[in-house]
Every structure is written in C-alpha cells, then in structure tokens.
Amino acid sequence: MSELSPPTGTGPLAKREARLAWGLLLPTLTAVALVILLPLIAIFWISFKPVELADLRAPEVVLREDIRGDDDAVGDEAVIRYRLRNSSQDQPIAGVTFADTLPLGLNVQEVDPRCILDDRALRCDLGDWDPGTRETITLPVIIEQAYLDGGLRPQDSPASTTGTSSNVLTNATFTLDNFKRLFSGDEFFEVLWVTLFYTVFGTIGALVVGLFAALLLNKSFRGQGILRGLYLFPYVAPVIAVAFAWLILFDPFSGSANALLVQMGVTPQAINFFGERPLALIMVTIFEIWRYFPLSFLFILARMQSIDSDMYEAADMDGASPFQQFWYLSVPQLLGILSVLFLLRFIWTFNKFDDIFLLTGGNAGTRTLTVNVYEQAFAVSNIGAGAAVAVVIFACLLTFSVFFLKYISQEEGL
C-alpha cells in the first residue's frame, strides 16, 4: 500500500513565487549589503591597520603653473613655470609624470631633459619622489603673433599629473598593534566596566520605571490619552534637544536644579552633576532611564491591556488583594514581554552613543565602548584603534544576539 503524503519538491508555481520574492527583496538586499555589510567588513579590515586620520588623504602631486616675464608683444621672452610638490610630508609617490598642452604661438627655446615636447604636447617623467619633494620645471619661450591672437594663456589648459602612492587603507600592511594597545592598558577594563554599569542599570531602570508608568495608566479615565502622549515625550524629542536641556538644568553654576536643591537645604553648595566621578556616570544612567522608560511603558501597557479582565474579577471574588493580584496574576503574564524588552534594551543601551557623547563627551568616568570608538578615531586621530574598539563592540553584540534569538522565538510578534 502506498503511503499518502503531500507532494515534495518545488513545482513551477512555487519556483515562480520564489523568483518574485527574491526580485522584491533584491533592492533591499543590495542597499543593506552596501551600507551595512560592506562597512562591517571594512571595520574588521581597518582594525588590523595602522591608520591615522591624516592617512585618509592619499598623497598627491600638487601642481601650479604660471607664466613669468612679458607676454604682451611679439618677440617678448617669457618663462612658463611648473611648480610641483608632494602633498604628503611622510609618504613617497612613485612614477610621477605630468602632461600639458601649450597654447598656440609659443616658440619653445629649450626643453628640460626629463621632458619631451611633441608639437605642443609636453610630457615629463619625474621618476619616484621622496616625501615632501618639490620640483620646478621651467620652459623659456618667445611669444609669436598666434599667441596674442589666440588669447589663451598656459595656465588656461589644465595640466594632468599621475603618480602612485601606497595607501595604507588598501596596501598589505597588517598589524595587531591596535588590539594590543587596546587590551594592554587598564583603561580598557574601566571602559568595559562603565559600559556594563550603564547598560545593566540603564536597562533595568527603564524597565522598572516603565512598569510603574504602565500600572498607573492601565485604567481608562479621561485624559488617559493625554498623559500617555505626555509620558512619551522624552523618547520622541530629539536627543540633542533633551540632552542640552538636562545639561542646562543641572549646570553647576547657573542650573535650576542646583538652585532648587540649595534653596531647599538639601545641599550647602552646588553639585557638579555631569563633571564629577562617580556622579556623572549615575547621571547619564538616569538620563538613559528617563529617555527610554516610555518605550518599555508602551510595550508593557499594550500587553497589560490584552490580559483578560475576567481573571482579575475571579481573583477579586476569591479575596485576593491588589498586590497579590499584581504579583500572582500580572507579573507572570508580563514576564515574556519583560524578558524580551530586557534583551532588546540591553543590546541597544550597550550600543548607545549620542546620549553620553552629548552629556559628558565621555569625561568624568563615563567613557563607554561606543564613546571610546569616537575618542580613539577622532580625538586621538587613530582610526585603526577606533576600529579595534568597534570590532570588540561587534563581538559583544553577536554574543547578545545569540541569546536574543533564542528568546525572541518564544515571544513572536514583537
């Protein structure tokens, strides 16, 4: 007896559908590959290279061309001068050449031995250049009538230059120095500790505060919509605006928060909230909680409102008190969303850059890994070192993602 089973393999219809699907996905895949995968590969590449900010400009041959002497009348003697230099002080350029076309009506008297003049086409081969080389090539000429008629001056025709230089970004120099330097100092472990503190407390804080806000608004009354909108403000406003508002509010010299605390007698003198260890780290963590509690609030509220209310009525009948109902009915139902929110927020807080960068710039013991990328690359101008930190961040991210994917499958629909 033959077994009945659904047909296996792909029929023509399924193949057509798959083709259409890939067709629809192609633009997205291309864009993502170009702007996300390519940079990701690039950052690994750069992290093994001794790149400085200044290396981004490849050395090039800079050329200035002018004519000296009189060129107003037939028979005047003049000199065409080409001044060339290597734009880099520390990198050589190989095989420097330049080519130019002379205007009509110039009788060239003498050609530099490195150059060939073929009719009006000038070509010079200047060989290999050391860093910082300067050269001047002169071409004495006598003016003829055609030059005056043509009205073209030598500098009107742009001269072209060639020359190859080894670019540190593309050559085969690789080194582990960036990573060695990164892991050798104590600084790295402080940065790591700060990042973990910020991430763990920022995440838990935002979840707990969000849970309270959700409990507060989990009943319908007039103005509930307005309050919900209001509580989302910190998340919706541009980070740059709220970060500066906090800076001004907590300014040590003329901030309102300090004035208020002094007036209430909480503190005898002004506190430098964003400038002192360890207060600055606590403040940026509080800022993180303040800015992202709306998100957890929104998600938790959405989940709360989907819990069946019959359950609470039954519990009421059985004499469960409000706190018991919260603990034994609500919390178990919310655990799923809370764990997913925790993982997501954990990853995003770990990756957060703008907030700390704007509030403290990484000073006063608030330098996290992401701020360190910026510091190394732009403040210290060592792009390679910045890339090495970025690679470390990416490695952490991959580890978190494994956890995340394990849990997200249980909580689909987020």
Partner 1 sequence: MRALRFNAVTSPLLGALWMVVLSTTIAVIMSFATGAAFRPHLLFALFWGGIIGWTIGHRLGDFWGEVMGTIALAILIVMGFGPLSIGTETGWFPSAFAAIALSTAFTYSVHVILDDLPHGALNRHEFERAVIRFLTGFGYIFFSAIVLIPFYVMVMTSFKNQAELMQNPLDFSIDLSKGAALFRSYDELFTQFNFGTYLFNSFFISVLTVIITLAFAIPGAYAVARLRFQGRALFSRSILLIYMVPMIVLALPIYIAFSTTGLRNTFSGIVMIYPVTTIPVALYMLQGYFRGLPAEVEEAGLMDGLSRLAVIWKITLPLSLPALASVSLYVFMIAWNEFLLAFMLLDDPSKFTLTRGIASLNSSEIPRQHLMAGSVIATVPIMALFLGLERFMTKGLTAGSVKG
Residues 28-67 that bind partner 1 (CB under 8 A): 28, 31-32, 34-36, 38-40, 42-43, 46, 56, 58
Could you tell me the smallest distance in angstroms from the CB atom of residue 230 to partner 1?
A: 6
- State the alpha helices, DSSP H only, in 120-223: 145-150, 177-184, 187-217
Rule CB under 8 A: say whether 143 interacts with partner 1. Answer: no
Rule CB under 8 A: say whether 314 interacts with partner 1. Answer: no
As given in the structure block, the two tokens for residue 84 are: 């060339």
As given in the structure block, the two tokens for residue 92 are: 């050589």
- State the alpha helices, DSSP H only, in 218-321: 224-231, 233-236, 239-249, 256-263, 279-305, 310-317
If the CB atoms of residues 103 and 255 are measured against partner 1, the closer one turns out to be 255
Return the residues of window 214-273 that contact partner 1 according to CB under 8 A.
215-216, 225, 227-242, 244-246, 248-249, 251, 254-256, 258-260, 263-265
Q: Which stretch binds partner 1 (CB under 8 A): 113-121, 145-153, 172-180, 354-362?
A: 354-362
Return the residues of window 84-103 that contact partner 1 according to CB under 8 A.
none
- Whether the CA torsion 157, 163, 165, 171 is positive or negative: it is positive
- 196/338 Cα distance (integer angstroms): 19
Number of helical (H) and strand (E) elements in the chain, helices listed first: 16, 8
Return the residues of window 155-174 that contact partner 1 according to CB under 8 A.
169
Rule CB under 8 A: say whether 379 interacts with partner 1. Answer: no
Rule CB under 8 A: say whether 124 interacts with partner 1. Answer: no
Task: Compute how many residues bind partner 1; rule: CB under 8 A.
Answer: 101
Alpha carbon 151 to its chain centroid, in Å, reads 51
Residues in the chain: 414
As given in the structure block, the two tokens for residue 328 are: 């034994």
Rule CB under 8 A: say whether 331 interacts with partner 1. Answer: no
If the CB atoms of residues 245 and 331 are measured against partner 1, the closer one turns out to be 245
Could you tell me the smallest distance in angstroms from the CB atom of residue 19 to partner 1?
A: 8
Rule CB under 8 A: say whether 335 interacts with partner 1. Answer: no
Q: Using the rule CB under 8 A, which residue among 179, 188, 201, 290 binds partner 1?
A: 290
DSSP string, 99-135: EEEPPTTEEE----TTEEEETTEEEEEEEEE-TT-EE
Task: Return the amino acid letter for 218.
Answer: N
Could you tell me the smallest distance in angstroms from the CB atom of residue 97 to partner 1?
A: 23
* CA–CA distances in Å: residue 48 to residues 11, 90, 181, 382: 48, 21, 12, 12
Task: Return the amino acid letter for 70.
Answer: D
Q: Which stretch binds partner 1 (CB under 8 A): 95-103, 141-149, 173-181, 348-356?
A: 348-356
Return the residues of window 4-23 that contact partner 1 according to CB under 8 A.
14, 17-18, 20-22
